[in-house]
Structure 1
Amino acid sequence: MDETKLPDLTINGMGKASGGNYRKVEIEGIGSADGDVSCETFRANGVVTIKGNVRAGHFEMNGKMNGEGSLSAHSVVAEGHLNLRGRMHGDEVKLNGYVKLQGDCEAERFYLNGGFTVEGLLNGGTIDIVLYGRGQAKEIGGESIQVQKSRNPSGWSRMFAWIIPAFEPHLFAGTIEGDDIRLEETTADTVRGNRVYIGPGCNIARVEYISELVVHPDASVTEQFRS
């Protein structure tokens, strides 16, 4: 189908639509789509339910979204609460709030301020996480991985108190593997990398490193191995 002839999907207030191929999807208020949605741009502000997969060039969401499938877009910008039963894929992913994925998350550049649960693998070239709540992933892999606790959580946490579960900012992961790794407030079974910094609040069972390992006095590492 010629993309110039694709229809737009617009919902203002409350509405429901079928899935399909669209040029632009714009939802303002409370809206839902039954089935897969494919579009050039997807913008939602409010409460959204997608009963299928979403594929977009650019995806932008502000509010709360529940998706029964996966999300794939060149760029993803989400502020609020994003809950997907599937996986997420994007070249650049920027999340501000809380995200829960039952599948994997793959992004060339992944930035998150808030809290998250990824039941599968979180994989990216650059992974930069600022924790305002609890983070959890089965595995994390990337070239550059940085996890830090927010330095000024008070105003932000009040604004998003309804979104982020009431847990202390801390990351729980099985395995974390990358080239450059800097961690704070992290509990993990294994951390494996070239240059590794284990910062305050960390509890790591095993660290495997190639060139450099720095362990903060307020961190715990049970085993250290140099490759």
Structure 2
Amino acid sequence: MEKQKISIAGDGFISSGDYESIKIMGSAKSSGDIKSGEVKVNGDARFNGELEFGRFKVNGDAYIIGNIKAGNIKINGNLDIDGSCEFDTMVVNGDCEINCDIRCNNVTIRGDMKIRKNLYAKEIKIYGDSKIEGNIECEDIKVYGGINCKGLLNAENIFINPRGRSYCREIGATNIEISKTNNISFFKIKLPWDGRGTFRGEVIEGDFIKLENTEVKDLRGKDISLISKCKIENIEYTDNLEVSSDSIVQNSTKIG
């Protein structure tokens, strides 16, 4: 049986079912569980139920009450989700707010994103602004914009070039670099601007750490370099510690 294609130009209602594609150019509401290979929202959509989409593109406004799974999701407009999310690839160019956990392989944020719980991903790139109320767990994260994480940011590799005032309560990783310049040793990245932001945190712990314009209470690592304008209360290190002349360290202890 061939699946139905739905196109709504004015006001419409979408009942539960399995569809080939859904295109909303006007205003639409739904109730019940929906599956679709492709969904495009160019107008206004309100979904209420469990959703499973192959591709999901929001150019207008969309609001979801329920859990959603999708292969690829792209948000150019506004999207609010009151439920858990599982995506393969997510690109946020507009505004997105998620009230539950989100799991995704690759996340790119160029607009504004707010997550009220936890973000689990493989690779994260942030060019815009992000606010995470819970924890971030990933393999690699690169931040060229703003990040505000009230929980733990845990990754293998972390690079942050903060724009404005960025904050993470706690950071844990193998390689950590917080830098305001293009002179990146770990990641070999060329940026289109020199960062002028600052970073603040409570705890940073890793093996290899390089910091600029960073203020943190407790810093623990194997090899630590404070390149410029850092303010650290306590440092514990096992191998090497380099402190620039314009950085301030209240206490430092070599362990082992």
**TM-score range relative to shorter protein:** 0.7 to 0.9
Select the residue among 41, 45, 58 that pairs with 1:15: 45
| Aligned mates of 1:117, 1:198 — CA distance in 2 | 22
* TM-score, normalised via structure 2 length: 0.78
Gap change, CA 1:174 and 1:85, over 3 Å in 2? same
Greater relative contact order, per chain length (Cα 8 Å cut-off, separation 6+): 1
Percent identical pairs in the alignment equals 25
Structure with more of its chain in strand, by fraction: 1
Residue 113 of structure 1 is matched in structure 2 by 144
Task: Work out which of the two has the higher radius of gyration on C-alpha atoms and give 1 or 2.
Answer: 2
| Aligned mates of 1:88, 1:121 — CA distance in 2 | 10
Map 1:35-114 onto structure 2 (within 5 A).
35-114=66-145
| Cα distance per residue 1:126-182 (max 9 Å; x no partner) | 00000111111111000000001257x99899xxxxxxxxxx721111110001100
Residue 32 of structure 2 is matched in structure 1 by none
Structure 2, unmatched stretches of 5+, are: 1-17, 21-34, 183-190
Gap change, CA 1:202 and 1:126, over 3 Å in 2? same
- Alignment check: 8 A CA contact 1:206 1:221 kept: yes
Residue 242 of structure 2 is matched in structure 1 by 214
* TM-score, normalised via structure 1 length: 0.88
| Aligned mates of 1:133, 1:201 — CA distance in 2 | 15
- Alignment check: 8 A CA contact 2:222 2:237 kept: yes
| Cα distance per residue 1:11-31 (max 9 Å; x no partner) | 112222234122221111222
Stretch moving more, 35-44 or 11-20: 11-20
| Cα distance per residue 1:67-116 (max 9 Å; x no partner) | 11122101111111101101111110011111001100011000111111
Gap change, CA 1:193 and 1:12, over 3 Å in 2? same
Structure 1, unmatched stretches of 5+, are: 158-167
| Aligned mates of 1:47, 1:58 — CA distance in 2 | 17
Gap change, CA 1:155 and 1:141, over 3 Å in 2? closer
- Alignment coverage as a number of residue pairs: 215
- Alignment check: 8 A CA contact 1:98 1:116 kept: yes
